[in-house]
Amino acid sequence: MKNTVKKVNNDIFMFFLYSFGLLFLSTILFTATSNAQRDEGTVSGIWTFDDGTANDTSNQSLNGILVGKPKSVAGIAKKAFEFNGQSDGIKIPDSARINITNIITNRTIGALFNCSNVNKKEKQVIFEEGGRTRGLVIYVHDGKVYAGGWNRAEYNWQGEWLSANIKSNQWYHVGLVIRDASGKIEKDKFEMWLDGKLHDKVDGGQLHPHGDDNGIGFVNQNTVYHDDAGGGTNIDWFGGMIDEVVIYNSAFNVGDFAQLAGALNVEPEEKFTTMWAKVRNNRF
User: Looking at the domain assignment, is residue 54 inside a domain?
Assistant: yes
Asked whether residue 88 falls in the same domain as residue 203, the answer is yes
One digit per residue, pLDDT tens: the chain, 284 residues? 545 444 445 554 444 444 444 444 444 444 433 345 789 999 999 999 999 999 999 999 999 999 999 999 999 999 999 999 999 999 999 999 999 999 999 999 999 999 999 999 999 999 999 999 999 999 999 999 999 999 999 999 999 999 999 999 999 999 999 999 999 999 999 999 999 999 999 999 999 999 999 999 999 999 999 999 999 999 999 999 999 999 999 999 999 999 999 999 864 334 333 333 333 333 32
First to last CA, the chain: 11
Do 17 and 68 lie in a common domain? no
pLDDT at residue 38 in the model = 87
The reply to whether 70 and 24 lie within a common domain is no
Q: Are residues 134 and 182 in the same domain?
A: yes
List phi, psi (to 5°) of 216.
-115, 125
> Is 206 among the domain residues?
yes
- What contacts 27, CB < 8 A, 6 or more positions away? none
Cβ density class 150-170: b for 16+ within 10 Å, e for less: bbeeeeebebbbbbbebeeee
Q: How far is CA 4 from the centre of its chain?
A: 47
pTM: 0.83
Q: How many domains does the chain have?
A: 2
Q: Are residues 24 and 47 in the same domain?
A: no
CB 43 within 8 A of CB 248: yes
Residue 262 in domain: no
Please report whether residue 121 resides in a domain. yes
From CA 13, how far away is CA 182, in angstroms rounded? 54
Q: Are residues 108 and 211 in the same domain?
A: yes
Per the domain annotation, does 259 fall within a domain? no
Q: Does a structural domain hold residue 243?
A: yes
Query: Looking at the structure, do residues 17 and 118 belong to the same domain, yes or no?
Result: no
Interatomic CA distance for residues 272 and 123, integer angstroms: 39
Domain that holds residue 12: 2-33+269-281
Do 27 and 141 share a domain, yes or no?
A: no
Spatial separation of the C-alpha atoms in residues 148 and 164, rounded to whole Å: 12
CATH number of the domain within which 136 lies:
2.60.120.200
* One domain, residues 149 and 239: yes
Same domain, yes or no: 18 and 51: no
pLDDT for res 127: 98
- Do 110 and 212 reside in the same domain of the chain? yes
Does 228 reside within a domain? yes
Asked whether residue 135 falls in the same domain as residue 246, the answer is yes
Would residue 257 count as lying in a domain?
no
- Supply the pLDDT for residue 18: 44
Beta-sheet strands, E only, within the chain: 43-47, 65-67, 71-74, 79-84, 89-92, 107-115, 124-130, 134-141, 144-151, 157-165, 171-178, 186-194, 197-204, 214-216, 239-248
How many residues are given for the chain?
284
